[in-house]
């Protein structure tokens, strides 16, 4: 598995997303992923599954140093005291003494960014998270974080897939050597039935979902965290790394509609 080096951490380029997985089903999915070789697990306080993930990790036998765990603070908890409380609760539920990456899950309109980063950096300084980062930051917010506050963010986790253009943010992140972690990399499963991707897949003996995933992972500085509850899909997503897309495939993918955003909540600053 290839890794992206960022702010002192080594981020496996393919991780397991865990949104909408909870309890025993989540535990079983994470156990299966770890057994198949996944070493990057993405969660958040909002997902309500950190305990299940912690249990899966504890029973896996995978050395902590070989595992990357990301969790996130919800937008309602962005005051410094609330961040500290949320972080303590996440760590306790995960049963870990540190996480690898702690993200602002969503920006909120009322947030105080300098105070947020100061609080996150203290958590990093205390060794409780190895790196800090953001999610769902649009270009304007990213510029504020990187150029004004000079926050050492290890990634921006955003929605990105074959049906959504993210060129401006992607170019900015690439110029600053900050990884883009693609969430909803399968457009919440919609890519699986897309005729163009199915045709490309047939050519390579692959599925449409595998084509969509490889398109992302062929891009410099991009990681992806597909959610897959079944071991077969988890393995298929690992196998996607071996597909070789050619120029003809890339041209066909470029012609897909690029405005199919799956996630866009009203509480956050607008994307466009
Ligand atoms: N930072 C944020 O604000 C944010 C927002 C959204 C998501 N995320 C993160 O990103 C992760 C991924 O996003 P997502 O879960 O919304 O959507 P996604 O990963 O794009 O799609 C998940 C769907 O694809 C299906 N699937 C997985 N592998 C497949 C394969 N090989 N072939 C066919 N179908 C396949 C899954 O099936 P099953 O149902 O059978 O598993 C599920 O229905 C989340 O779980 C979460 O960790 C972050």
Reported as a pLDDT band with limits 50, 70 and 90, residue 270 is: confident
CA angle in degrees (0–180, nearest 5) for 81-83-87: 120
Please answer whether residues 196 and 256 qualify as being in contact, where contact means their C-beta atoms are separated by less than 8 angstroms.
Answer: yes
Q: Give the helix ranges, DSSP H, for the chain.
A: 23-36, 50-60, 80-94, 113-125, 139-143, 167-175, 195-204, 208-217, 231-239, 247-254
Please answer whether residues 169 and 159 qualify as being in contact, where contact means their C-beta atoms are separated by less than 8 angstroms.
Answer: no
153, β-bridge pairs: 132
Reported as a pLDDT band with limits 50, 70 and 90, residue 63 is: very high
Which positions ≥6 away from 83 have C-beta within 8 Å?
73, 77, 116, 119, 120, 123
Q: Is the pLDDT of residue 147 over 70?
A: yes
Residue with tokens 């140093």: 65
Residues at CB less than 6 angstroms from ligand 1: 17-19, 42, 105, 135-136, 157, 183-189, 192, 207, 209, 225-230, 233, 236-237, 263
Question: Which pairing describes strands 153-159 and 180-183: parallel, antiparallel, or unpaired?
Answer: parallel
At CB < 8 A and 24+ separation, what contacts does 44-47 make? Answer: 44/19, 44/71, 44/72, 44/74, 44/103, 44/105, 45/71, 45/72, 45/73, 45/74, 45/77, 45/86, 45/89, 45/90, 45/105, 46/72, 46/74, 46/105, 47/18, 47/19, 47/20, 47/21, 47/22
Please answer whether residues 1 and 39 qualify as being in contact, where contact means their C-beta atoms are separated by less than 8 angstroms.
Answer: yes
The pLDDT of 123-140, averaged and rounded, is: 98
Q: Is the pLDDT of residue 125 over 80?
A: yes
Active site residue 47: yes
Q: Is the pLDDT of residue 74 over 70?
A: yes
For residue 225, report the distance from its CA to the centre of ligand 1, in Å: 7
Reported as a pLDDT band with limits 50, 70 and 90, residue 1 is: confident
pLDDT in tens, 209-252: 999 999 999 999 999 999 999 999 999 999 999 999 999 999 99
| Kind and range of the H or E run holding 132 | strand 129-135
Reported as a pLDDT band with limits 50, 70 and 90, residue 269 is: confident
Q: Please name which of 109, 91, 92 lies closest in space to residue 100, comparing C-alpha atoms.
A: 91
Which positions ≥6 away from 175 have C-beta within 8 Å?
none
With the most atoms of ligand 1 within 8 angstroms of its CB, the residue from 29, 189, 236, 268 to mutate is 189
The pLDDT of 60-87, averaged and rounded, is: 98
Q: What average pLDDT does the chain have?
A: 97
For residue 184, report the distance from its CA to the centre of ligand 1, in Å: 5
pLDDT in tens, 42-57: 999 999 999 999 999 9
Instruction: Provide the token pair at 239.
Output: 């196998």
Instruction: Provide the token pair at 11.
Output: 């981020």
Please give the pLDDT value at position 272. Answer: 59
Residue 129 half-sphere exposure toward CB, CA atoms < 13 A:
29
């Amino acid at each position: 598995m290839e890794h992206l080096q960022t702010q002192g951490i080594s981020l496996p380029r393919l991780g397991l997303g865990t949104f909408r997985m909870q309890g025993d089903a989540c535990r079983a999915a994470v156990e299966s992923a770890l057994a198949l070789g996944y070493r990057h697990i993405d969660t958040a306080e909002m997902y309500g599954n950190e305990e299940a993930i912690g249990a899966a990790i504890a029973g896996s036998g995978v050395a902590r140093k070989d595992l990357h765990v990301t969790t996130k603070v919800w937008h309602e908890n962005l005051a410094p005291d609330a961040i500290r409380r949320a972080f303590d609760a996440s760590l306790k539920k995960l049963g870990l003494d540190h996480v690898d990456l702690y993200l602002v899950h969503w920006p909120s309109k009322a947030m105080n960014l300098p105070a947020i980063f100061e609080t996150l950096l203290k958590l990093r300084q205390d060794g409780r998270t190895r790196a800090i980062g953001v999610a769902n930051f649009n270009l304007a917010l990213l510029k504020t974080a990187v150029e004004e506050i000079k926050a050492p963010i290890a990634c921006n986790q955003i929605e990105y897939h074959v049906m959504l253009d993210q060129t401006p943010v992607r170019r900015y992140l690439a110029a600053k050597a900050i990884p883009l972690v693609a969430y909803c990399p399968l457009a919440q499963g919609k890519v699986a039935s897309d005729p163009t991707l199915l045709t490309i897949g047939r050519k390579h003996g692959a599925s449409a979902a595998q084509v969509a995933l490889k398109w992302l992972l062929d891009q410099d500085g991009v990681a992806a965290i597909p959610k897959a509850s079944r071991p077969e899909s988890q393995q298929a997503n690992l196998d996607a790394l071996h597909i070789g897309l050619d120029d003809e495939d890339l041209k066909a993918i470029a012609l897909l509609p690029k405005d199919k955003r799956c996630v866009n909540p009203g509480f956050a600053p607008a994307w466009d």
